[in-house]
Amino acid sequence: MTLRVGIAGLGTVGAGVVKVLRSKRRELVARAGRDIEIVAASARDSAKDRGIDLSGIAWEKDALSLAARSDVDVVVELVGGEEGVARQLVERALNAHKHVVTANKALLAHHGKALAASSERNGVALKFEAAICGGIPIVKALRESLISYDIGAVRGILNGTCNFILTQMESTGRAFADVLTEAQALGYAEADPTLDVGGGDTAHKLCLLASLAFGTEPDLDGIELTGIQGVRPADIAFAREFGFRIKLLGVARRTKDGIEQRVHPAMVRAGTPLAAVGSSFNAVVADAGEAGPFFFEGRGAGQSPTASAVVSDLVDVARGALGPAFGRPAAELVAPRRLGSDIRSSAYYLRFQVLDVPGVMAEISRHLANEKISIESMLQRGRAPGEPVAIVMITHDASHSAVVRALKAIAASDKVSEAPCMIPMEPV
């Protein structure tokens, strides 16, 4: 019996889903065991030329009507947003006993546990492979393939826009604002790039990865968040001197003291797989104890990779591969115990922009010593008496809260011309 699909949202991804389902129909039937057909669709403008054939597909002006159609078995939600039409459509579809496939990471980050519970209560699937890293099959890997491993951490480059910007800054030496403008012109960044460059998009994906890996409910509020706006070309150049590259990472780690979740620019050692991920590509590392790290890399966005992930979920639904959305029943997803910043430790890259006057180094060293922070290596470039110069340090492992206190004290000095820069060193 044909699996009948209603699709809400015919932008880049939605149009791609239509293309794949029609161009790969014979192959998909062979893999799914039955036909998958789009019977209804909804988008803002029915007259827009999307470069796809919509013949034979019923049009709904109101996307919510898809949830009420008797000829729809599964609703594909590609509207986006954590509230509004997207949330209403998914909730109505699940309550109408219709399967849901979505690429909406924001919706799941905010309401994932409740939506997963609704899908189980109504005996239908909630699938979201396309919500995290586009064409990388990381959701299925964590939910199914790696369930026999004790996943201790998941970390990765989860936003292609930020990775493109940092890669270009490194290769050209240009400033963040200049490269961001280029990224917008090329379509890598939105007109309002805040969600990407501020780390919010990465945080949405990270909390879903943590839930899949650790069996906890999505905990967006528990993520410590820093974007890439403060990364300077000088930081990238200093990183290279020390043998590192700067990447925006999402890191979730399980410890005996709690779950650590953070999004921030990080120093990643050159020559490691994560450091080598360039341009707009994404990558995820799942640390699986004695089995070692599993590394996944691929395009995290774009029509073909993301549409393929949506279609993969539809094939699973057609096969009857349902199961809990996060790999275990929603009732078993527990609120994570958050790791306190006084417990978390790391080595850090520190950059101070200071006046080149006597005593400045002694003052910085005193504040670091007061917090028991020791220095592994240091660089100072040039001499410009009375003018700002950079002092750069790599610390040994230190408490996060201790480093923050030390930098606050140092920033109060009249010899420091701008807020100190702090970037954690990510272990291999």
Residue 192 lies in a domain: yes
Average pLDDT rounded to a whole number, residues 193-217: 96
Write down the residue that tokens 């906890």 correspond to.
216
338 lies in a domain?
Answer: no
Query: Is 0.85 surpassed by the pTM of this model?
Result: yes
**Structurally, how many domains does the chain consist of?**
3
Residue type for position 291: A
Active site residue 205: yes
In a domain, 340, yes or no: no
What backbone phi and psi angles, to 5 degrees, belong to 221? Answer: -70, -15
Is 117 in the same domain as 212? no
Helix or strand or coil: residue 57?
Answer: coil
User: Residues 46-60: pLDDT tens digits?
Assistant: 778 788 888 889 999
Q: What is the pLDDT of residue 134?
A: 85
| 335-348 tens-digit pLDDT | 999 988 778 889 99
Residues 121 and 171 in one domain: no
Domain that holds residue 398: 345-426
Tell me which residue of 241, 156, 143, 159 sits closest to 202, measured CA to CA. Answer: 159
Same domain, 98 and 214: no
Q: DSSP assignment of 243-280, as one string?
A: TEEEEEEEEEEEETTEEEEEEEEEEEETTSTTTT--TT
Residue 177 CB: number of other CB atoms within 10 A? 8
Rounded percentage of the chain residues whose pLDDT exceeds 90:
79
Q: What DSSP line would sit under 75-130, residue for residue?
A: EEE-S--SSHHHHHHHHHHHHTT-EEEE--HHHHHHHHHHHHHHHHHTT--EE-GG
Q: Are residues 349 and 382 in the same domain?
A: yes
CATH value at residue 31:
3.40.50.720
Q: Across the chain, which distance is largest between two alpha carbons, in Å?
A: 81
The pLDDT tens digits for 378-420 are 988 766 666 788 999 999 999 999 999 999 999 999 889 889 9
Pick the catalytic residue from 19, 98, 127, 205. 205
